[in-house]
Amino acid sequence: MNTTKLALIATATVAVMFASPALTANALSACASLGGTVDGDQTCHVHSATSNDTLDMSFPVDYPDQNALGAYLREDREQFVSWIARATPDGRHRPYVHEVTAKVYRSAADTQSVVLEIQDDTGAAHQGHPDTHFKAFNYDVSKRVPITFDTLFKPATDPVAVLNPIIQRQLGTHAEAPFKDLDANTYRNFALTDDAVIFFFGEDQVVQDHNGPHQVSVPRSELAPLLA
């Protein structure tokens, strides 16, 4: 391991230790494994830059399931670095940019959500155009288990049938850009609050309106009979 990498890991280690004694070894490992540093707000910051690319990531180190969060971010970085290594020069005069930012949501029901917004201008994921998409993580703190779309709702219910008209109503009708088929996979990225379940959709994921990413807040009252 080179000297620069060792220095980054050492810096992250010291930063996490002084940020909060309650932080787990998993939090330290997730940040340090990415070569990041932790600030006073318990946010890990990862930065790397070359003449060809710039990568920035930030995420909370107090999210309970650091293993899942760290694993996803490592894979995401590896995919970006791998794409850069294979990319052919296109005459552009600025580096490719990959940026990951996080927003945290909590509820009184002892749930915690982290939604990663991923902005990438390589065009690798979106037919040659810059792309913004999401990756969400949800956790039941009291039960110490992740919350997925499947476990969010009661067994033998059909949440998609309830959600589809709500999403279509809130996003409006697009005569020139009809809605795509919406299934359970469409709703995999969500966050939980006291009042709502917020769903996040990447650019053109649900409707090809070329109007950027979308987010739709569905009141819990509309989903109450279905929620587990």
pLDDT at 90: 62
Task: Tell me what percent of the residues of the chain surpass a pLDDT of 70.
Answer: 79
d(CA 72, CA 76) in angstroms, rounded, equals 6
Nearest to 84 by CA among 134, 58, 121: 121
Asked whether residue 25 falls in the same domain as residue 112, the answer is: yes
What is the rounded average pLDDT of the residues 34-46? 94
How many domains in the chain?
2
Domain closes at, from 144, 168, 189:
144
Asked whether residue 122 falls in the same domain as residue 153, the answer is: no
Mean pLDDT of the chain: 83
Q: How many residues does the chain have?
A: 228
Asked whether residue 176 falls in the same domain as residue 162, the answer is: yes
The residue segments making up the domain with residue 191 are: 148-228
Q: What is the CATH number of the domain that holds 166?
A: 3.90.640.20
Lowest average pLDDT, out of 42-56, 72-86, 162-176, goes to 162-176
Asked whether residue 73 falls in the same domain as residue 157, the answer is: no
Asked whether residue 124 falls in the same domain as residue 163, the answer is: no
Q: Which helix (H) or strand (E) holds 138?
A: strand 131-140
Strands 96-107 and 53-60: parallel
pLDDT at 181: 80
pLDDT, one tens digit per residue, over 195-213 is 999 999 998 888 777 777 8
pLDDT at 17: 38
**Angle of CA points 166, 171, 176, to nearest 5°:** 125
Asked whether residue 114 falls in the same domain as residue 221, the answer is: no
Residue 53 tokens read as: 């690319």
Domain closes at, from 144, 162, 193:
144
pLDDT at 25: 55
Exposed/middle/buried for residue 92 (C-beta within 10 Å: 0-12, 13-18, 19+): exposed
Q: Is the pLDDT of residue 141 over 90?
A: yes
Asked whether residue 204 falls in the same domain as residue 185, the answer is: yes
Beta bridge partners, 59, equal 44
pLDDT at 2: 43
Q: Is the pLDDT of residue 146 over 90?
A: yes
Beta bridge partners, 45, equal 37, 58
Beta-carbon count within 10 A of 147 CB:
19
Asked whether residue 87 falls in the same domain as residue 192, the answer is: no
What is the rounded average pLDDT of the residues 100-124? 92
Phi, psi of 151 (to 5 degrees): -85, -10
Asked whether residue 90 falls in the same domain as residue 7, the answer is: yes
Asked whether residue 52 falls in the same domain as residue 133, the answer is: yes
pLDDT at 88: 64
Nearest to 98 by CA among 114, 113, 76: 76
What is the rounded average pLDDT of the residues 177-203? 91
Q: What is the CATH number of the domain that holds 23?
A: 3.30.565.40
Asked whether residue 87 falls in the same domain as residue 196, the answer is: no
Q: Is the pLDDT of residue 5 over 70?
A: no
Phi, psi of 208 (to 5 degrees): -85, 75
Q: Identify how many contiguous H helices and E strands the chain contains and give both numbers.
A: 6, 10
pLDDT, one tens digit per residue, over 7-36 is 433 343 334 333 344 445 555 678 999 999
Asked whether residue 171 falls in the same domain as residue 215, the answer is: yes
Phi, psi of 55 (to 5 degrees): -125, 130
d(CA 154, CA 226) in angstroms, rounded, equals 6
Residue 47 CA from chain centroid, whole number: 17
pLDDT at 205: 86
Domain closes at, from 144, 171, 201:
144
